[in-house]
Amino acid sequence: MSRISRSLLIKKYIKPFLFRLAGKPGWLSPIYALPGGIVPAPNKQVSLQHKIIGMPSSQLPLPSQLILPLKQHQGDDAVPVVRPGQYVYKRQLIAAAHGNGSVNLHAPTSGFITAIDFQLAAVNIRPQPGRPWHQSIDPRQTAIVIKTDGNDLTDPELPLSPLEVTPWQQRHIDELRQAVFEAGICGLGGAGFPTAIKLSASAIKTLIINGAECEPYITADEALMREYADEIVEGSRIIQTIVGAQDCVIGIEEDKHEAIKAIQSAIAGLESANHPLGGLPVVKLVLVPAIYPSGGEKQLIRIITGIQPMSGQRPSDVGVLCHSVATARAIFKAITDAEPLISRVTTLTGSALRNPVNVEALIGTPLSHLLQFAGFDPSALERLLVGGPLMGYVVDDFETPLLKTSNCLLAASQQDIQSVKASSVPHRDCIRCDFCAPVCPVKLQPQTLYFASRHQRHDSAVQNGILDCIECGACAAVCPSQIPLVAYYRDEKALIHEEADCGESSRWQALFEKHQQRQADNVVAVQQRKLEKLQDKLVSIAEGENPGKEAAVESGSPVTHKSAEQIKSEIEAAVARTRARKAELLSKADINKDGSQ
């Protein structure tokens, strides 16, 4: 066994088991091992030497202008409600949500609207087609440009803070959800899904607040948990109240010691305050192994709950809802202070910066302004990434604005790039070493997807699950040929979606439905094998064999002191449950099949 394999084994299985056995706080709840994964060098402490620096402040002044694209989220563009030349106050609505999944946009500071253009002032030379709201800015996209006046004024006619009128615990759930919608909040973890839509989910059993932040260099969430733990925990209770979740869990990687202490203290303070929350259970802190990509939404759900959403399913379909700690804090501010989403905490880091730090910068701030503040050294720059070294996007124009989904700005030197082996082209040929397959957290075959993507074999790519790829970059990090595998996957996905938009959607939909059906068939097959095994045990008992040497069904406890009749009754109950589960899966498959027809 290699040193890396031993390290993963210890982190995934041995360490959590021993800590739980010892009763250490945060490890009392059982966790489930994540398939695959890697342990890259974290490189996080360099940006955690100082507290979060706000904007505007004496250290970080306002930029001369803000560039605010109307699409910084999944869904339709917002519609401008201002005109060029108009003066706007801080927090004023400048673009209203309109259409499917749209999100409001507000002025981050006071100033004059100088332009509402279909041509952004900052356009990436090399567009990234995978996520059009995530720094892959379309040159035809509309953006509102505000010339800041330096006064940072709010409208004097704004109403009082809602908390001064009615505590949020006494407000109706629909009112709370509407406040989140009006604040223009979308997922701050990177996906950009409208938060108000996620809060409309029903039958939620478990709410998970994601504080894992597993990607190297990024420390925005960790800094938030250190300094604003009370607001995050309170925001978590607000979300739990809105969706009616039975359990609320904050998941943090085990190596974030100061953040863990701060969250523990905040939870203890909330419990002692005896908030009138209608008997909701306490917020729990769960520590997870520091393995990348444990912070992915579906990956963290798997670790904490053991539930693995099927291909095409959303977490809410299986009774789980996941929000980032940054989103929880944004919801707290929206509910208690009616503050819209006009700023976010972003990590400024990388060897090309002399002063790495976390800043709470205004949305729309040009990246050049932030780079200059952090002591940018152009001679050391290899690549400028928005995001981390594994999942980040290359930015070519330094006037590109900071978006709602921008959690990190990595001014990477060659040393930073080599630290995770995520090299850019040109690269060497694939040597078919198969190092990439064991580290894939979705259990795909990255090598197969690479050849299908490189040669644009779209059918093969879809059949092998490229649409399930989360683009975590673990495969690229371990590739000895330094192939930028994720770049190939993103391009292939873009081509697939482009062809679907050109009239071939039915064919790709059929392929995707086949993939979903194959996943469903696998789940049913597992239940069938389990049923057959239980039935074989019943037959053995009927034939007079002694089952006392075998483990108890589903309980995991020894049965040496149980009678044959007790064991038989347990097995019969397990058979009934398994049959019911199989029937439920088959029923869902039939419903999905009828719906697709």
Distance between CA atoms of 215 and 219, rounded to whole angstroms?
A: 9
**pLDDT less than 70: residues of the chain:** 1-7, 119-140, 159-165, 271-281, 418-427, 500-511, 544-564, 568, 585, 588-597
What is the model's pLDDT at position 210? 95
Does the predicted model carry a pTM greater than 0.95?
Answer: no
Written as six digits, the tokens of 229 are 């733990």
Spell out the SS3 assignment of 164-198.
HHCCHHHCCHHHHHHHHHHCCCECCCCCCCEHHHH
Tell me which H or E stretch contains 320: strand 320-324
Return phi, psi of residue 286, to 5°.
-120, 125
Q: If we measure between CA atoms, which residue out of 294, 143, 119 comes closest to residue 221?
A: 294
Find out whether 47 and 358 touch, Cβ atoms under 8 Å. yes
Q: What is the DSSP letter of 317?
A: G
Q: How far apart are CA 207 and CA 251, in angstroms?
A: 10
DSSP helix, strand, coil percent of the chain (3-state; round to 5) = 40, 15, 45
Query: How many whole angstroms separate alpha carbon 132 and alpha carbon 450?
Result: 22
CB 409 within 8 A of CB 426: no
The pLDDT, as a whole number, for residue 555 is 45
Give the list of residues 6+ apart from residue 358 with CB closer than 8 angstroms, or none. Answer: 47, 48, 50, 52, 53, 219, 220, 223, 345, 346, 347, 348
- Express each pLDDT in 211-241 by its tens digit: 999 999 999 999 999 999 999 999 999 999 9
100: its two tokens: 């499917």
pLDDT at 367: 94
Reduced to 3 states (helix: H, G, I; strand: E, B; else coil), residue 558 is strand
CA distance 350 to 376: 10
Q: Which amino acid is at 413?
A: S
CB neighbour list of residue 205: distance below 8 Å, 6 or more residues apart:
245, 246, 247, 319, 320
Neighbours of 64 (CB within 10 A): 11
What lies within 8 Å, CB to CB, of 532 at 6+ separation is none
Whole-number pLDDT of residue 509? 67
87-88 vs 111-117, strand pairing mode: antiparallel
Strands 247-253 and 283-288: parallel
Q: Report which DSSP code applies to 421.
A: T
